[in-house]
Amino acid sequence: MYDAINDKFKEECGVFGIFSKNELDVARYTYYGLYALQHRGQESAGIAVANGAKIEMHKNLGLLTEAFSENDLDKLKGHISIGHVRYSTTGANRVENSQPLVSSTKLGSIAIAHNGNLVNADVIKDLLEDSGYVFHTTIDSEVIISLIARSAKHGITKAVFNAVQAVRGSFAMVILTEDKLIGVRDPHGIRPLCLGEINGDYILCSESCALETVGAEFIRDINPGEIITISKDGIESIKYSEKTLCETCAFEYIYFARPDSTIDGINVHESRVKAGEMLYKQNPIDADVVIGVPDSGLASAIGYSNASGIPFDPGFVKNRYVGRTFITPNQDMREKAVSVKLNPLRSNVKGKRIVLIDDSIVRGTTSRHLVDSLKRAGAKEVHFRVASPMVKFPCYFGIDTPYRRELIGANNTLEKIKDIIGCDSIDYLEQENLLKCFGRKKGFCLGCFDGVYPVATPIETDKDHLER
C-alpha cells in the first residue's frame, strides 16, 4: 500500500544529550532539543535522566506533545539527560522498541539513544542469544547496549570502545551512565552528530538547529570514528577507528535535515539553493513561473529562479494541520490524499508554463498527482525538475526506503518517468553537479544513487527483519 500523502524517504531518528554542572533542568532542555529534531521521527519519543545514583526514564508513542506531559518532565530530575525521537527503520512501532533503552550492568545503569542502522545486527544478535542473552526489543540498538553491558567490567569507556568495534553500519548515538554522557559516531560519519556548549554545560545532538533552539553555541561536529566522553572532569576524546573517511548521507542535505542546520561544514539551506541554481545551468528551459513542492523543494525553487530570472511564486497551499502521517479510510481517499495536504494555487498557475521543483522522487506517485493537479488548475505546461540525482538503490543505513522494485528511478528510463508522471519534461540533478553544490567531490554516502556504499550491505530486507 503506497502512502499518497508522503511518497518520500522516511526519516531516521534524532538524538539529544546534555551534561550540566550548573543545575539546569536537563529534562526540559532535552525536551525542547528534541522538539527541534521532531522532523527526524514522529513515531515515539523518550527521555532518560541520571542524577549520579540512578537513571529515570519516560517514553511513549507519538509526537513529543503526545508522549510527554508537564508531570512526566517534573519527575525527571538529574544533571545528565539523553533523549530520542524515533522513526522505526528496524523493529515494529511498539513502546518497548522506543528509545532510550536502559540496561543494568556491573557499573550501574546505562541508557542509549541511537540514530542509524546496523547491517550486522542479526549476526551479533544470534551470537548473543546463543550465549544466553535474552532480548527484550526487536531493534538493533539493543544489540549495542548488550555489547556494552557484557564488557562493563572493563570500565564504560573500554566497554563502548569494544562494542563499536564489533558493529557495522551507521550510528550516531548518545549514551548515559549515572555520571557520564558519551557520544559516538560511526567510522564513516554517515549519520550526523555535533557538540555544543551553553554556559559551561555540554550538549550532543543530531543537528545544530537543536543547539540554537535551547540557546547553545555550536562547537564542532563529532568526527567519524570518535568517542567523546563528558564528565565532571571535562571532555575526553578517543579515536576508535583509524581508517575513517567522512561520508555523510547526501539525503541529510537534500531532504532530512532542517534548513537551519549546518552539518560537517555545509549549510543545509545554502546547499539546497545551490542545487536549484545548478538545475537551471544544467538544462535551461523557458517558462513563466518557478514553484517548489513544500517544504524541502522551496529552497531549490528559489535557487532555480535566481539563476534563470524566472519569477518564483507559491504554487501550492499547504494544509498545516495535516501531519506526516494521517488516516485515509479507503483506496479512493488515498488517491486524493495529496490534495488534502497540498492544493494548487490556481491564480498563480493558470495559463502558465511552470517549472515544478521537488527535492527527490521515490515511487513517483505523489509527483504524478502534483503534476495532474497543476494541469487541472489550468497550467499550460509543467516541467519537472528534481534537486537530486535519480534514486535507484535502497538505503541500509537508517532510512526506511522502499524495495528497489518500487523505486521509479531503478526501473524506468527518463522518458518513461516523464510519461508516468505526466509532465512535459523532466530532469534530475546530475551527481557531479550535486557534489558541486556541496563544495567538495568527496565525503558523502551516495549509495542510493549509484549503489556504491561505504559499508558492505546485506541482502535487501525489510525493517522488521529483527522480529522473531
Mean pLDDT of 353-362: 96
For the chain, how far is it from start to end, CA to CA, in angstroms?
Answer: 23
Fill in the DSSP letter of residue 39.
Answer: G
- Percentage with pLDDT > 70 across the chain: 89
User: Which pLDDT band, with edges at 50, 70 and 90, does 323 fall under?
Assistant: low
Instruction: Kindly report, residue by residue over 175-195, the tens digit of the pLDDT.
Output: 999 999 999 999 999 999 999
* 209 within 8 A of 150, measured Cβ to Cβ: no
Does residue 437 carry a catalytic annotation?
no
Per-residue pLDDT for 464 more than 50? no
Residue 202 makes CB contacts below 8 A (sequence gap 6+) with: 18, 19, 181, 195, 196, 230, 235
Annotated binding residues for Mg(2+): 296, 358-359
Residue 413, classified by CB atoms within 10 Å of its CB into exposed (0-12), middle (13-18) or buried (19+), is: exposed
Going from N- to C-terminal start, the domains of the chain cover 10-246, 267-440
pLDDT of residue 325: 47
pLDDT of residue 313: 96
Mean pLDDT of 150-165: 90
- C-alpha 403/C-alpha 253 separation (Å) is 22
pLDDT of residue 97: 81
Q: Which three cell numbers stand for residue 81?
A: 539527560
Listed range (60-64, 316-320, 413-417) with the worst mean pLDDT? 316-320
User: Which pLDDT band, with edges at 50, 70 and 90, does 92 fall under?
Assistant: low
pLDDT of residue 328: 45
CA-wise closest residue to 105 among 146, 161, 136: 146
Question: Exactly one of 13, 205, 246, 423 is catalytic; which is it?
Answer: 13
- C-alpha 240/C-alpha 217 separation (Å) is 26
User: Which pLDDT band, with edges at 50, 70 and 90, does 21 fall under?
Assistant: very high
Between helices 156-166 and 141-150, what is the axis angle to 10°? 130
pLDDT of residue 401: 62
Mean pLDDT of 390-412: 83
Residue burial 27-40, b: 16+ Cβ < 10 Å; e: rest? bbbbbebbbbbbbb
Same fold for the pair 10-246 and 267-440: no
pTM for the full predicted model? 0.90
pLDDT of residue 326: 45
* 272 within 8 A of 360, measured Cβ to Cβ: no
Highest mean pLDDT among 131-145, 151-165, 391-405: 151-165
Listed range (7-21, 298-312, 357-371) with the worst mean pLDDT? 7-21
Residue 368, classified by CB atoms within 10 Å of its CB into exposed (0-12), middle (13-18) or buried (19+), is: buried
pLDDT of residue 296: 84
Q: Which three cell numbers stand for residue 388?
A: 537530486
Residue 283, classified by CB atoms within 10 Å of its CB into exposed (0-12), middle (13-18) or buried (19+), is: middle
pLDDT of residue 128: 85
How does the average pLDDT of the chain come out, rounded? 89
- C-alpha 39/C-alpha 258 separation (Å) is 8
Instruction: Kindly report, residue by residue over 264-300, the tens digit of the pLDDT.
Output: 999 999 999 999 999 999 999 999 999 999 988 999 9
Annotated binding residues for [4Fe-4S] cluster: 249, 395, 445, 448
- C-alpha 119/C-alpha 467 separation (Å) is 15
DSSP structure string for 158-177: HHHHHHHHH--EEEEEEEE-
- C-alpha 283/C-alpha 281 separation (Å) is 6
At 338, which helix (H) or strand (E)?
helix 337-341
CA-wise closest residue to 205 among 7, 321, 38, 1: 38
- 267-440 belongs to CATH 3.40.50.1100: no
Task: Kindly calculate the radius of gyration of the chain based on its CA atoms and give it in whole angstroms.
Answer: 22
**10 or 139: which leads in pLDDT:** 139
User: Which pLDDT band, with edges at 50, 70 and 90, does 467 fall under?
Assistant: very low
- The neighbouring-strand residues paired with 355 are 290, 383
Annotated binding residues: 249, 296, 358-359, 395, 445, 448
Listed range (27-41, 98-112, 206-220, 447-461) with the worst mean pLDDT? 447-461
CA-wise closest residue to 289 among 345, 377, 359, 348: 348
Per-residue pLDDT for 174 more than 90? yes
Out of 3.40.800.10, 3.40.50.2000, 3.60.20.10, 1.20.120.1200, the CATH code matching 10-246 is: 3.60.20.10
Listed range (10-19, 179-188, 401-410) with the worst mean pLDDT? 401-410
DSSP structure string for 408-451: HHHH--HHHHHHHHT-SEEEE--HHHHHHHHTSSSSEE-HHHHS
- Percentage with pLDDT > 90 across the chain: 70
pLDDT of residue 468: 34
pLDDT of residue 94: 73
Per-residue pLDDT for 322 more than 70? no
Mean pLDDT of 315-319: 90
Per-residue pLDDT for 173 more than 80? yes
Q: 3-class SS at 227?
A: strand
Per-residue pLDDT for 4 more than 90? no
The Cβ of residue 44 has, within 10 Å, a number of other Cβ atoms equal to 25
Residue burial 352-365, b: 16+ Cβ < 10 Å; e: rest? bbbbbbbbbbbbbb
